[in-house]
């Protein structure tokens, strides 16, 4: 049977999606390359690539060492973990933001909607003020551990407050999130009042940044975020249908309650991981899904992966700006994301006129 224009156009959509993802991947690689070379010590891209490739077993013998050991240390110990952390956090926040906006059917939702930020902040502040010094595996230190514990326990608290019987009404979740979040914010303020000379450290941590990035954190964070993304992506079509409303979604065979709980837990864990390695980076999780929705449309099968790639690129670029703009000092990355994100978002808002989920 002959295909009509409409059908051909629809099937071409999938090819267009692949193209979008390839383009966004190229942008991300380019940003990562730029971020690796830019810094107080200028290292050309080709040399940086050689240094990176030299780390890979079997390949290392093919590359002659033509650089100084300080350069290798800067690339491998400082810049690479920092860039990769930005990628992981960018993916985590953007994907969690997209999932929460869909689940709550609310354009205001962001990764911190359930109080993860305040919970993590409280945990981290506690570690800093009490000067907790324990470590796990000899390298993962008290602050990220306390931050992720704070984040996860906040989510379970909110979840427990919002649940009625077997159901989980989203409005109750939102309100419980606001209440718990405010409570922990107040506790953070108390901690800061008591912090004394640690005040500056706590404050900088709350603003979010990557100055403490380490390989050891990435070993835990990257696989967690990757697995979380794959699970969320598996339910992309269900997300589209959930946008129609829970009742209709149930009638179309979507297991709404099950998916809701799953998304809630996965998105929160992913956010907690991000917060534990970078502190609280604002705005990325809120605006990246909106920007991508305007650019690629509302279908989560393209929206989720393109938000992940775009979020990673944006955070890598913002972090590069943050550590170079007032050299030799560095700004917290969270300030840059908000300062650059807001005007761009306002521009899109004015241009497209309407914000939808």
Partner 1 sequence: MVLLKICGVDCCYGSTKVLENVSFSVDSGELVGLLGPNGSGKTTLLRAISRTLKPKVGAVFLNEADIFSMKSSEVAKKLAVVPQIASLDFDFTALDLVLMGRHPHMGRFEREDRADLEIAKEAMMLTNTWHLAEKPINELSGGERQLVMIARALAQKPQVLLLDEPTSHLDINNQIGIMDLLRKICLEKNLAALAVFHDFNLAARYCNSLILLHKGKIFAIGKVEEVLTEENIREVFNVEVIVRRHPITNSLYIVPVSPLQAETVAPPQNFRIHVICGGGSGALLVKLLHIHGYHVTAGVLNLLDSDYEECMLLKIPVVSEAPFSPITEENHRRNLSMIEQADVVILSNVCFGNGNLKNLEAALYAVEKGKEVVVVDETPIRQRDFTGGVAERLYEKLKSKGVIVVKNCYEIPSILKKIEN
Q: What's the min distance (Å) between Cβ of 273 and partner 1?
A: 24
Contact positions vs partner 1 (CB under 8 A):
1, 3-4, 6-7, 9-11, 14, 234-235, 237-238, 240-241, 243-245, 247-248, 250-255, 293, 297-299, 301, 356-357
Can you read off the two tokens belonging to residue 200? 């500056």
Angstrom distances, CA of residue 351 to CA of 306, 341, 344, 348 = 21, 15, 11, 5
- Identity of the residue, 56 or 252, whose beta carbon is nearer to partner 1 in the bound complex: 252
Q: What's the min distance (Å) between Cβ of 170 and partner 1?
A: 16
Q: What's the min distance (Å) between Cβ of 254 and partner 1?
A: 7
**Can you spell out the DSSP letters for 284-330?**
HHHHHHHHHHHHH-S-HHHHHHHHHHHHHHHHHHHHHHHHHTTTTS-
- Identity of the residue, 284 or 296, whose beta carbon is nearer to partner 1 in the bound complex: 296
DSSP state of 279: -
Query: b/e per residue, 280-318, with b = 16+ CB within 10 A?
Result: bbbbbbbbbbbbbbbebbebbbbbbbbbbbbbbbbbbbb
Q: What's the min distance (Å) between Cβ of 48 and partner 1?
A: 37
- Identity of the residue, 110 or 238, whose beta carbon is nearer to partner 1 in the bound complex: 238
Q: What's the min distance (Å) between Cβ of 102 and partner 1?
A: 11
Nearest to 289 by CA among 321, 267, 261: 267
- Identity of the residue, 78 or 262, whose beta carbon is nearer to partner 1 in the bound complex: 262
Can you read off the two tokens belonging to residue 161? 């407050």
Q: What's the min distance (Å) between Cβ of 336 and partner 1?
A: 30
- Identity of the residue, 149 or 308, whose beta carbon is nearer to partner 1 in the bound complex: 308
- Identity of the residue, 136 or 230, whose beta carbon is nearer to partner 1 in the bound complex: 230
Q: What's the min distance (Å) between Cβ of 24 and partner 1?
A: 19
DSSP state of 354: -
**Can you spell out the DSSP letters for 57-96?**
TTTGGGS---S-HHHHHIIIIIIHHHHHHHHHHHHHHHHH
At residue 110, φ and ψ (nearest 5 deg) are: -140, 180
- Identity of the residue, 33 or 297, whose beta carbon is nearer to partner 1 in the bound complex: 297
Q: What's the min distance (Å) between Cβ of 203 and partner 1?
A: 40
- Identity of the residue, 77 or 251, whose beta carbon is nearer to partner 1 in the bound complex: 251
Nearest to 280 by CA among 208, 349, 232, 219: 208
């Amino acid at each position: 049977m002959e295909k009509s224009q409409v059908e051909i156009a629809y099937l071409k959509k999938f090819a267009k999606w692949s193209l979008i993802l390839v383009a966004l991947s190229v942008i991300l690689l380019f940003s990562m390359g730029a971020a690796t070379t830019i810094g107080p010590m200028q290292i050309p891209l080709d040399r940086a690539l050689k240094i990176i490739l030299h780390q890979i077993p079997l390949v290392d013998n093919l590359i002659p060492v033509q650089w100084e050991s300080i350069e290798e240390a800067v690339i491998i110990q400082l810049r690479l973990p920092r860039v990769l952390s930005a990628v992981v956090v960018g993916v985590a926040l953007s994907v969690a933001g997209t999932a929460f906006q869909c689940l709550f059917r609310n354009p205001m939702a962001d990764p911190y909607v359930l109080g993860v930020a305040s919970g993590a902040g409280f945990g981290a502040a506690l570690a800093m003020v009490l000067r907790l010094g324990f470590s796990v595996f000899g390298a993962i230190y008290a602050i990220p551990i306390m931050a992720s514990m704070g984040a996860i326990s906040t989510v379970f608290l909110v979840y427990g407050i919002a649940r009625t019987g077997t159901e989980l009404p989203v409005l109750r979740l939102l309100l419980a999130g606001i209440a718990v979040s405010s409570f922990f914010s107040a506790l953070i303020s108390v901690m800061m009042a008591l912090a004394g000379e640690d005040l500056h450290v706590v404050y900088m941590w709350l603003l979010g940044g990557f100055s403490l990035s380490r390989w050891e954190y990435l070993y835990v964070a990257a696989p967690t975020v990757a697995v979380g993304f794959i699970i969320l992506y598996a339910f992309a079509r269900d997300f589209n249908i959930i946008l129609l409303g829970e009742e209709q979604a149930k009638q179309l065979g979507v297991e709404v309650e099950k998916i809701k709980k799953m998304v809630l837990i996965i998105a929160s864990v992913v956010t907690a991981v991000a917060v534990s390695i970078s502190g609280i980076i604002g705005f990325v999780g809120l605006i990246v899904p909106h920007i991508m929705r305007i650019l690629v449309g509302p279908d989560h099968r393209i929206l989720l992966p393109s938000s992940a790639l775009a979020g990673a690129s944006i955070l890598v670029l913002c972090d590069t700006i943050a550590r170079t703009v007032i050299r030799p000092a560095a700004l917290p990355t969270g300030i840059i994301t908000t300062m650059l994100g807001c005007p761009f978002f306002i521009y899109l808002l004015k241009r497209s006129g309407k914000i939808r989920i």
